[in-house]
A and B are shown apart, each in its own frame.
Chain A
Amino acid sequence: QQPVQSPQAVILREGEDAVINCSSSKALYSVHWYRQKHGEAPVFLMILLKGGEQKGHEKISASFNEKKQQSSLYLTASQLSYSGTYFCGTEMTGNTGKLIFGQGTTLQVKP
């Protein structure tokens, strides 16, 4: 039931792009994306809802394919501050807040 994230780790140079994928074997109501830096709280990035609505506030985009139960997070023109571990959290039933998190993708951006 835990969603699978890919890749597990990625190393980028500043300005390069990255895509992180999140795939579930179960139907999803929503997908939530977070970034966590070492020793810190996870920070909210995006919510993608069934039906296509997106909520987010950073210069990062994402997509949600409901039929395939997949979501992708797009990081363009990466900055050093993008380094961290990215988690997708999946919600199976709407309006419960119960998130099942993927195993995480570690992103390192180098100068």
Chain B
Amino acid sequence: SAVISQKPSRDICQRGTSLTIQCQVDSQVTMMFWYRQQPGQSLTLIATANQGSEATYESGFVIDKFPISRPNLTFSTLTVSNLSPEDSSIYLCSASRTFSTDTQYFGPGTRLTVL
């Protein structure tokens, strides 16, 4: 298994600012993913982040709004830019050890509130 930590665990931000969320894995992984989850709702995939390549975004999510970095095999960041109240949500990262269909381990999430 893999243990994933996220920082910060929660934050309250002002409209128009940005928040960068860090995701740290305790061992090397190949694929990392970022999801968004409204409280009490399902998870929606934002993007896939593989080391050495640009992140690939799902429909409805763009790089200018959600820039992602993946500098090595244990770390990734997601920035939520130009915040609006609609961005208030829980953001989770997950990781998979292989490029094949495999278990995804999830971090505990970052709860973002935008005022």
Please give the residue numbers on chain A whose beta carbons come within 8 Å of chain B beta carbons, in ascending order. Answer: 2, 29-30, 32, 34, 40-44, 47, 49, 55, 87, 89, 91, 94-104
Contacts and interface: CB of A to CB of B under 8 A. Distances in A.
Nearest to A5: B42
A40 B102 contact: no
B42 A102 contact: yes
B102 to A, nearest CB: 7
16 contacts: A29-B101, A32-B104, A34-B106, A41-B106, A41-B107, A41-B108, A44-B104, A44-B105, A89-B43, A91-B101, A94-B100, A95-B99, A95-B100, A97-B33, A98-B58, A103-B42
A32 B96 CA distance: 13
Q: How large is the interface on B (under 10, 10 to 19, 20 to 34, 35 or more residues)?
A: 20 to 34
Contacts of B48: 96-98
B45 A55 contact: no
